[in-house]
Structure 1
Amino acid sequence: MRHHPRREIALACGLAAVAGLVDAVGFIHLGGFFVSFMSGNSTRAGAQLAQGSVHGFVLAFGLVAAFLAGVLCASLLRRRVPRLKRMAVLSLVAIVLVLAVVMFDAGLWVPLVPPMMAFAMGAENVVFERGGEVSIGLTYMTGTLVKLGQGLAAALAGGEKWGWLRYFLLWAALSAGSVMGGFGYHLLGLDALWVAVAGVGLAMLVQHRIAATD
């Protein structure tokens, strides 16, 4: 993340906000399961199994599988397209989110909607990729908070003064998105996902500007 220019950091923060929104919507809708935080689902799966809830166990690992499928498909897509790789991945995320909310509103295959949300969040993590590895994680903040703490320690010890700021902004963006998602769900239900679709659309415009100036 330290090697990305400021405009890409801004794009990453916007996408982190989208991830926070989608995860909050999914968390409330599913009663405590996540569509982007797979560490939480893995823990929840074990807890559900220990409590004798096979349904909860299957749901948690089903979301993990859908998230992994999103990462896999987006990674293969990046390998297939010769250029505009980020735009291709963002298009995939937008299409899947649109399909999810349209299916829910139409009452078609509604049980598939949460896995589709998880798929989209997995795919979103592939937007920033270098050398076949994710350079900025957009839906999980544990590593980001560790680097934030290390950056603060370095600043207090006389090192780089503002090295921690990028990590703070990314975490803050996801947190702000989760607040919007929580309120959005209470106002609109799963139709709050249209806000996430708009956010991805805005991210595509920003990425277009970035690509045009490179």
Structure 2
Amino acid sequence: MQSHRRSEIMLAAVLSGAAGFIDAVGFIHLGGYFVSFMSGNSTRGATALAEGNWSGFAMAFGLVAAFLVGVVSAAILRRLVPSRKRMAVLLYVTAALASAVVLFELGIGGWAAPAVMALAMGAENVVFERDGEVSIGLTYMTGTLVKMGQHLASALTGGDRGLWRRYALLWLSLTTGSIVGGFAYLAVDLNALWIAVALLALAVVVNGREFQVTPGARPLNGTG
């Protein structure tokens, strides 16, 4: 994250907040399964298998599979579009999440709508990609907390005093989004997801305006 512009860090914070919001909504609705935290689903699926809970096993690893499909499809999308790759992925994520909400609203979602939510979260992680690798993880914070701790240790021993704040911002954004998402779900049920769709749409608009302001600038991640 050290080489990303301030505007990119702020976009990452917004997207992490949206991910936390969506994951909290999905977690409550699904009774303890995640749409963005696949380490948790892997553990839940494994324990469900050990307990002979086949429906729990299918739910957990179905969400893992959908998340992976989101990552793969978004990565392929980045390779297919000739320019404005980040914008293409943002639009894909927004459209996928909106589709999940519509499925819920029509009452035909079943397992499909949570799977589409997980797909959207997988795709979101490809927004920031550099040389085929994710440069900023948006929906999981374990690695982010490790890096924050490392840079905090560096700051305490005479190193750069500011880098740890970038990682802290991502963690705080996801955590705050989760809190808001939890309360929003309790207030308006799955209609809360429209808030996340609006937030993602705003991210699309802001990203597009930034691109227009500096059309000749070379993106720091080399892919836009």
Give TM-score scaled by structure 2 length.
0.94
Shift of 1:111: 2.1
How far does residue 109 in structure 1 lie from its aligned partner after superposition? Answer: 3.5
Runs (4+) off by over 6 Å: none
- Residue 42 of structure 1 pairs with residue 42 of structure 2: yes
Q: How far 1:5 sits from its partner (Å)?
A: 0.6
TM alignment of 1:2-13, pairs within 5 A: 2-13=2-13
- CA-to-aligned-CA distance 1:152-207 (integer Å, 9 cap, x gap): 10011011111100000010000010011100100111111101101101111121
After TM superposition, give the deviation of residue 52 of structure 1 in Å. 1.4
**Cα deviation, residue 110, structure 1:** 2.7
Post-superposition offset of 1:209:
2.1
Quote the residue 1:202 is aligned against.
202
TM, length-normalised to structure 1:
0.98
Structure 1 match to 2:114? 114
Q: What is the aligned partner in structure 2 of residue 179 from structure 1? A: 179
CA separation in 2, counterparts of 1:44 and 1:86? Answer: 32
Matched, 1:31 2:26: no
Residues 21-170 of structure 1 correspond to what in structure 2 (within 5 A)?
A: 21-170=21-170
- 1:125-174 per-residue CA deviation (whole Å, 9 max, x = no partner) reads 00000000100000000000000000110011011111100000010000
Amino acid at match of 1:87: M
Question: Tell me, what secondary structure is at the counterpart of 2:111?
Answer: helix
CA distance in 1: counterparts of 2:148 and 2:111, whole angstroms:
38
Shift of 1:108: 1.9
Q: What is the aligned length?
A: 214
SS in 1 for 2:161: coil
Q: Hey, what does 1:189 align to over in structure 2?
A: 189
Structure 2 runs not aligned, ≥5 long: 218-224
CA contact (8 A) 2:100 2:109 kept: no
| Ranges in structure 1 where 5+ consecutive residues have no aligned partner | none
Q: How far is the alpha carbon of 1:210 from its aligned partner?
A: 2.2
What is the distance in 2 between the residues matched to 1:189 and 1:58?
A: 24
- Deviation per CA, 1:88-134: give whole Å up to 9, x if none: 11111111111111111111243211000000000000000000010
* Amino acid in structure 2 at the alignment position of 1:163: L
What is the letter of the counterpart of residue 179 of structure 1? Answer: I
CA distance in 2, matches of 1:39, 1:111: 20
